[in-house]
Structures are given as structure tokens and as C-alpha cells.
Amino acid sequence: MDFDTYFKNYPTKDGFFGRYGGSYIPPELQAAMDEITEAYNTICKSSKFISELRRIRKEFQGRPTPISHLERLSDSIGNGVQIYVKREDLNHTGAHKLNHCMGEGLLAKYMGKKKVIAETGAGQHGVALATAAAYFGLECDIYMGAVDIKKQAPNVARMKILGANVIEVTDGLATLKEAVDAAFMAYCKEYKDAIYCIGSVVGPHPFPMMVRDFQSVVGIEAREQFHDMTGELPDAVVACVGGGSNAMGIFSGFLNDPVNIYGVEPLGKGTSLGEHAASITYGTEGIMHGFNSIMLKDEKGEPAPVYSVASGLDYPSCGPEHAFLHDIGRIQYETATDEETIDAFFALSRMEGIIPAIESSHAVAYAMKLAKQMEKGSILVNLSGRGDKDMDYIIEKYGIR
């Protein structure tokens, strides 16, 4: 496959990456998605939009984020393989999610919308979007299950301080799935004045494409920075995959290079259904949340219950582009267990002075395994976020190691 023209050809006009992607939603929502696609294809390619987004990234987000060489961690592996991290933990608000939320917020402003709408589970996407809304002077409605509101008090407080309306959803199990349904319903009613903002490379077209494009700044920066630092490209690039946005961001910079690319899925407590959220590794093709991809299903064919120690990774499917790049063999998907992840979390904290998000620790864990198998060379890991949000949980569950 020729990756020279990959970004011109994928996705197709209708949002397909091979058989995956597309848009499987009710007709009234399709009209709203078509409006977003049309606006994205014109506004976001204009030099005015691009230069404003560049300015925001530099002056507000603190981009470019650096790459750090993990000397002590690499030495501890002892075979000469060198590990580097792209520091998305140093992006404003502490994770990569702001990269696409600022793009979506700027698009909303250019489209003349007054409000952004989204759901959130653990609250990370809600906080990033509330930040963008405050910056652009947009109203922000975040739908959140009552159970999650109780569990994620600090993120609920952040969203409220940033001026967002956190709308409690009490239907059914009162978690993420019900929040998605409530947010979609509200959007159906309000789409003339509002735009729905998805938090990863998932959902109906154009979101997998749009979020990938906004995140691609990570890969573009990383490729150039790594080359400046070392005079060559890394031998391997590694990122964790929940929905897959941080991974598509860094991977997109290296698809056309002789670089091995690894997506790391959460293996949780084990390989039985319900113990993990490794959608590509153990899933099959299916449609959910408006797109066709690879997903974990229960015996009725519905999205299966999933688990991961990292709340940002417990999603029963993944972005359609990952499913495609998996099938054509360009990207290899591997796993890290909870235990390997927590070991990596403490290793990075102790040896490098960087406390990573538990999500990102999955990528570090796999990179440490991979480094042991390689005889020489270098690995670049996308460190998608910082671990401040995970402190209380780590101390309560694992104590100080």
C-alpha cells in the first residue's frame, strides 16, 4: 500500500476507511453531520482558520510540547535500546484531548454556533471541551451519568468552574452509555445553534477524520523533533488506544516511514470478556455509536461490558481507522495488563520524575517489554497525559511502592 497519498484517499468522501467507518445514524442527525462535514471541508482548509489554530496552539496550549529522552529508564533495561516520550502531558490541561477540543471549538465559532454539546464518562473530555468553550466564549452542555458524577467529583468541579453546565443523566445504569443517548437527543433538538463534539476518533463521519486531523499536530511535531534530536527516525512508535485519538495523532506522522507502529490496548485483569477492553485484539466487526468498526460484543451482539484500570481506555470499540490499519497490517495491536501498567507508572515516576496518566502508562509498559525484545534502536512513546487525576486512586488501591 502506498502511504504517499494516504491522507488524500482515507477516509473516502462518505467517511470510509476500507469497510470501516461511515455514518449509521437517524436521518435527522445525518443532516446535522452533513452540515459539520461541509463546514469542516471548507472552513478548516482556509488559511485564516489554520493560522488562528496555530496561534492558539502556541499561545494558549503551550505547543510544541517537547520530546524527552528517558535515559535512566533506558539504562535500566540495559541492552542499549533508547526510549523517548512525546510530552502531551505538558499540553495545557494535562493531556492530548485539548488538541481536538480547540479545533472543534474554533470550528463551532466559525460556523456561528453558540453552544457545544458532549457527553463525558470519567470527565476528561468534558474538562477539555469546557476549557475550549470558555476560551471561545461558547456555552457548554456536558451530559454525565449520575453514577459518574459521584465518582468524578474533581472533574465535575473543574467543568463547573470553567462555566459548563453539567447535566445529570439518571436513566438506566446512569453511566456513559445513557449520557451518550441523552447528549445525542439534546443535539437533535438544538443542532441549529449547537455543535456536538466527540472526544475521540470515533462516531459517525466526519468525526474520525476531523479528530485525527486535529491530533495530527502531535505526529508532525514529533517526527521533526525526533529527527532534530537524533539525526534519524525512531525504529518504533507506541501509543495507547482507547477510542484511538492520541494514537492516530502520533501514528499519522509516521505511516509513510520505515517505522514499526504499535497500538496498545488495555488487557485489564485477563483475557475473558468483561475483564479487559482490548477491542481489536479480541473483538469482531460491528456497528455501534454510528460507525462500523471492530468491537467487543456480548452474546446478544450488543456492546459488551468492558474493564480497564484506566477509565479513559474502557471503550468496547475503537476508531474505524485503527480497524483498517490493523487489517492491512500497517499497525500492530498489542496489550498491557493492569499489573504491567502500574509497574510502568511507578517506573516512570521514580526513574524519570514524570508521573504519567494510567492510560499513557499502558504505552510505557508495552514499550518497556518491546525494548527488551529489540537488540538495538529507539522507541518513541506518546505520553498522552499526566497522572495528577489518578493520584487518589493509585494511593488507595496500590499504596506507595
**Tally of CB atoms within 10 A around 224:** 13
Write out the binding residues for ligand PLP, residues 24-53 only, by CB under 6 A.
Answer: none
- In the complex, minimum distance from the CB of residue 202 to ligand PLP, in angstroms, rounded to a whole number: 8
C-beta closer to ligand PLP: residue 82 or 94: 94
Bond into 258 cis (ω within 30): no
- In the complex, minimum distance from the CB of residue 389 to ligand PLP, in angstroms, rounded to a whole number: 8
Q: Does 200 bind ligand PLP (CB under 6 A)?
A: yes
Q: Is 113 a known active-site residue? A: no
Q: Does 124 bind ligand PLP (CB under 6 A)?
A: yes
Q: Strands (DSSP E) along 9-87, which ranges?
A: 16-17, 20-21, 67-70, 82-87
- Of residues 261, 359, 370, 381, which one binds ligand PLP by CB under 6 A? 359
Query: Is the sign of the CA dihedral 320, 325, 328, 333 positive or negative?
Result: negative
- Of residues 340, 385, 390, 394, which one binds ligand PLP by CB under 6 A? 385
Count of all residues that appear for the chain in the document: 401
Rg (CA), the chain: 20
d(Cα 61, Cα 194) in Å, to the nearest integer?
A: 24
Q: Does 320 bind ligand PLP (CB under 6 A)?
A: no
C-beta closer to ligand PLP: residue 240 or 309: 240
- Sorted by sequence, the CB contacts under 8 Å of residue 290 that are 6+ apart come out as 23, 24, 25, 29, 203, 204
Q: Does 97 bind ligand PLP (CB under 6 A)?
A: yes
Region near ligand PLP per CB under 6 A, out of 223-231, 266-274, 355-363, 392-400: 355-363
**Tally of CB atoms within 10 A around 252:** 21
In this structure, are residues 276 and 282 in contact, taking their beta carbons and an 8 Å threshold? yes
Region near ligand PLP per CB under 6 A, out of 54-62, 181-189, 243-251, 290-298: 243-251
C-beta closer to ligand PLP: residue 15 or 244: 244
- Sorted by sequence, the CB contacts under 8 Å of residue 182 that are 6+ apart come out as 119, 143, 167, 169, 171
Q: Does 158 bind ligand PLP (CB under 6 A)?
A: no
Q: Does 250 bind ligand PLP (CB under 6 A)?
A: no
Specify the 3-state DSSP secondary structure of 102. helix
Tell me which H or E stretch contains 333: strand 331-337
Q: Does 295 bind ligand PLP (CB under 6 A)?
A: no
Look-up of cell digits 506522522: 253
Q: Does 203 bind ligand PLP (CB under 6 A)?
A: no
Region near ligand PLP per CB under 6 A, out of 220-228, 245-253, 264-272, 324-332: 245-253
How far from the centroid of its chain's Cα atoms is residue 51's Cα? 24
d(Cα 73, Cα 77) in Å, to the nearest integer?
A: 7
Q: Is 97 a known active-site residue? A: yes
Q: Is 384 a known active-site residue? A: yes
Region near ligand PLP per CB under 6 A, out of 132-140, 241-249, 277-285, 347-355: 241-249
- Of residues 53, 118, 162, 241, which one binds ligand PLP by CB under 6 A? 241
Q: Does 244 bind ligand PLP (CB under 6 A)?
A: yes
Cell numbers placing 380 = 518513541
Active site residues: 97, 119, 384
Which residues would be at the binding site for ligand PLP (CB under 6 A)? 95, 97, 124, 200, 240-247, 312-313, 357, 359-360, 384-385
